[in-house]
Structure 1
Amino acid sequence: MLKVGITGGIGSGKSLVAKLFSVLGIPVYASDQRAKWLIENNAVIISEIKEILGEEAYSLEGKYNKVFVSKAVFQNEELLKKLNQIVHPRVRQDFEDWVLVQNVPFVIKEAAIMNRNAGLDKIIVVNSPKDLRIKRLLKRDSHRDKSEIEKVISNQKTEQEFLEMADFVINNDENSLLIPQVLEINKKLTS
């Protein structure tokens, strides 16, 4: 079974493309959603996060205090590194465990952060012009302004870096149709 990654910059349309593969019956592992679940439900992760960030990292009800954690790691690169060292390996292992129970020609792992050495057989990059991504994000994330969105984009891989790791590219601009591109890649991955 092939392990196929879908990645791209924020607002590129990764989730939409993943949903299209899901409609075709391809199992999709949504890394960001799964990481959030693990952060709130995995006792080892909870304990280790509290160890580096304190009890304030979680509410009394056990909910992850994203605002507190974001402020803490935003100001301290070393804390961010430690947090990632807690969460990322657990998400990778969770994905590998999930793959073992699938019985299909290929599975999809959707993730914003992905590298060539991520243990994936193929990588699909969803590519979209920066100005269109900003426009989508302003509409989707009303709590963010343009400068915040541009800061997030500047902290991600460049368009060139994404394209360099791609086995397949899906163009998600105003002139491209997504479904035919997804169907073509699905055909190549299942034949």
Structure 2
Amino acid sequence: MSDVRVEHLTTSGVFSLDGGSWDVDNNVWLVGDDEEVVVIDAPHDADAIIEAVGDRDILAILCTHGHNDHVNAAVKLGDAMDAPILLHPDDRVLWDMTHPDREPDGELTDGETFEVAGTELTVIHTPGHAPGAVCLYAPGLGVLFSGDTLFQGGPGATGRSYSDFPTIVESIRSRLLSLPAETVVNTGHGPATTIGAEEANVPEDA
């Protein structure tokens, strides 16, 4: 029986877009066991993530979207740990703002699965906060990693370039609210929640 587990650390830095900058705290999620992990988002501080990983193999760095505060440590982390960086292709426009001279190593596609420590993560494309935003669902753990698509309190922000409120509402309603209500939602910023707790916080339409 695998001792797969979810580990959490928080890194701090700056989110920049549309000429503005904001201080932010980002969640980093590690899913794996004593031998191997996947890293979900690589913000701000590659060294802190490397320390959390230790001597384990990183199978992949899975980027929930391309905003700088989710990918700005990805290249340093990937190069240091010989780990591929994967991003949905629709978010290359955002990735290129942070890493114009370095492509991701591969693409995330809707429905794709990754196995780590005997558990599966499924990619769910949830555009709205960003065109290539994805969530990662681990049914065996009862956990969804939502990036900035769904937070405690409802949908992620859509007030900046490449985002759209009706699109994020449709993504959440059509792709996420059908998951079991008890599914834990581990977010890109702030506290965790559950699918059931957030259903009332998502508009019927937008």
TM-score scaled by length of structure 2: 0.29
Greater helix proportion: 1
Q: Give 1 or 2 for the bigger CA radius of gyration.
A: 1
Q: Which has the higher contact order (CA 8 A, sep 6+)?
A: 1
TM-score scaled by length of structure 1: 0.31
Greater strand proportion: 2
